[in-house]
Amino acid sequence: MGRASQAATKNTLSSFDPQAKALLAQMTLDEKLGQMTQPDKLYLQSPDDVANYSLGSVLSGGDSDPKTGNDLISWTDMYDEYQSRALRSRLHIPLLYGVDAVHGHNNVIGATVFPHNVGLGCTRNAELIQQVARITSEEVRATGINWAFSPCVTVPQDIRWGRTYEGYSQDPDIVKVLGEAMVKGLQRESLADPLAVAACAKHYIGDGGTTYGSAKTGLDQGNTEVDEATLRRIHLPGYITTVNAGVATVMPSYSSWNGVHCSGSKKLLTDLLKNELGFEGFLISDYAAINEMPGTYKQQIETSINAGMDMVMVPDKWMEYINLLRQLVQENAVPMSRIDDAVLRILRVKCAMGLTPGGPSPLADRSLHRSFGSMEHRAVARDCVRQSLVLLKNENKVLPLLKGAAHIHVAGEAADNIGNQCGGWTITWQGRSGEDTLGTTILTGIRAAAGPATKVTYSEDGSGGKGAKIGIAVVGETPYAEMFGDRSELRLKSQALGTIARMKADGMQVVLVLISGRPLVIDDVLGYVDAVVAAWLPGSEGAGVADVLFGAHKPGGKLGYSWPKESTTDFRIGSPGYHTLFEVGYGLSY
Ligand code: GLC
């Protein structure tokens, strides 16, 4: 197998330099600049742009879907169309095609959708996460796509942030282990593996540590105001382990560190990540993130590329980006050595993946369609759900529920709603309530687990359950992503309180199941319900929730985030205004 058989660990990528340098030596300036450009496919005038500009990469950002729909064939055909154009470029260098496969290949209807990281973090199970990543890479490669913008190794310090659920935990020691496992699963033992995808550790650095009020929506893309020791202690560990695991790409954060945009910080991108940590892959900017920096577009490009950015997720003004970067090189404002270093890093990854002229066909292997969304894959996702649930309260031994109970009433907006249980980054960028993709709702799982002898009734508002001794209220948050999930407070919605009240009024013992991207303030119902289960955003396999409720699997999940009391006035971890209801690591069992 030669070099390609080497495990993807630190300093593996530079072993491809002889091959990468030989390719680099053949390239014109414009071909080099093309490799440093990643448009969103939405903004290509024609697929031929890929060959005409020797583009290094194309992405499908949130909602950048095939014109023919979000099904497996449409995604595969779309990828093949762009990749086949890349093979027509002068040097025939294949594309890296990037998507946000952040909890399975979540863009595609019928994919196995895993719990979001907020739930996976509660499993503390690195082996399971690696299995999740291997299945994810297989389903991503089924569409031909070869680059996943995952894992998010953020360490959120304020759960009012809309991206809390993309993080495994507020504890860097949990994040560093699970992030490493995700990289090893996605990239497999070798990036040359036809089932491997390039991974992307993100968002570097301190994306989850911004100060509340430092961003338009509160926290997202704000300013992380901490000293260097704190930045290293909390926000760096996930990059140390993923770089050592050979992660192919890292995505700088939109956010700033002490007022300096991460996308333009030489200290962070070059001095710390590349020189001190020895990162040998390449940096991909976030979506139009360099445009958030001060100055004109040309100045933004100059600052970011000279700081160490290697490829820019432009995503729209990509021709202008190429023209301006060419000017900067011709004016020597961006030295040719920086261009060559950036392109060498990109070519290292492509050589490691066999994405080279005359290499193995980079077109989709459609035989993988057989296992896409398979029962085997879904069984693993269901086990993830079981292991992610955290039992916060269980009084009067209401749990586990008895099979064959006479009558169970199920209620709540999230009980029979795939979209709610999957959350954001599912089919669409923001996700959406309703029949968003294929899978099993929590209600369907309860009906199956209860058995034919049990009368299982359902109403969204909790009414109509008279006679049932047990009520299960499945409530929480509706889908959101990024800044749209920033909140100023985290109470349960009034209709959820009404649902619970109706069930209590009908004499039921109530089991509260929370579907949310983060802990929610539950003081006003905690004393009122008999059991509470944090189910997070479980994904497509809602039956895993029933497995725990009926005792087929004993709950073992441990909180990755501390749970705030109602009296909390400042949700930032460690602030005097933060009052803890449950600590990180809390979780009951049967
Ligand atoms: C988004 C996110 C990033 C994602 C990228 C491409 O804005 O910040 O996590 O990978 O753009 O969709």
Please give the distance, rounded to the nearest whole angstrom, from the Cα atom of residue 554 to the centre of ligand 1: 36
Question: Alpha-carbon torsion 407, 411, 414, 418, what sign?
Answer: positive
- The one-letter amino acid code at 99 reads V
- Average pLDDT of 297-312? 98
Q: Is 507 left (phi over 0), alpha (psi -120 to 50) or beta?
A: left
Q: What does each C-alpha distance from 524 to 67, 494, 501, 528, 566 come to in angstroms?
A: 47, 11, 11, 8, 8
> Which residue's CA is the nearest one to ligand 1's atom 11?
287
Q: Which among 100, 138, 416, 482 is annotated as catalytic?
A: 482
Q: How far apart are CA 118 and CA 219, in angstroms?
A: 18
Q: Is the peptide bond before 205 cis (omega within 30 degrees of 0)?
A: yes
Kindly report whether the global pTM for this prediction surpasses the value 0.95. yes
The predicted pLDDT at position 6 comes to 39
The predicted pLDDT at position 404 comes to 83
The predicted pLDDT at position 399 comes to 98
> Which residue's CA is the nearest one to ligand 1's atom 7?
287
pLDDT at 182 over 60: yes
Active site (annotated) includes residue 286: yes
Q: Is the CB of 100 under 6 A from ligand 1?
A: yes
The closest alpha carbon to 146, from 333, 287, 354, belongs to 354
Active site (annotated) includes residue 482: yes
Q: Is the CB of 151 under 6 A from ligand 1?
A: no
Condensed to tens digits (0 to 9), the pLDDT of residues 207-260 reads 999 999 999 999 999 999 999 999 999 999 999 999 999 999 999 999 999 999
Condensed to tens digits (0 to 9), the pLDDT of residues 325-351 reads 999 999 999 999 999 999 999 999 999
Mean pLDDT over the full length of the chain: 97
Instruction: Report the atom number in ligand 1 closest to the C-alpha of 429.
Output: 12
Please give the distance, rounded to the nearest whole angstrom, from the Cα atom of residue 402 to the centre of ligand 1: 44
Residue in this structure with the two tokens 């090189």, named with its chain if needed = 329
The predicted pLDDT at position 155 comes to 99
- The one-letter amino acid code at 511 reads V
Question: Alpha-carbon torsion 119, 125, 128, 133, what sign?
Answer: positive
Q: Is the CB of 287 under 6 A from ligand 1?
A: yes
Q: Is the CB of 104 under 6 A from ligand 1?
A: no
Q: Is the CB of 149 under 6 A from ligand 1?
A: yes
Domains of the chain by start residue, with CATH = 3-370 (3.20.20.300), 377-582 (3.40.50.1700)
pLDDT bucket at 5, cuts 50 / 70 / 90: very low
The predicted pLDDT at position 10 comes to 62
Condensed to tens digits (0 to 9), the pLDDT of residues 561-571 reads 999 999 999 99
CB 50, CB 96: distance < 8 Å: no
- Average pLDDT of 52-71? 96
Condensed to tens digits (0 to 9), the pLDDT of residues 386-413 reads 999 999 999 988 999 998 899 999 999 9
- Average pLDDT of 360-370? 98
> Which residue's CA is the nearest one to ligand 1's atom 8?
286
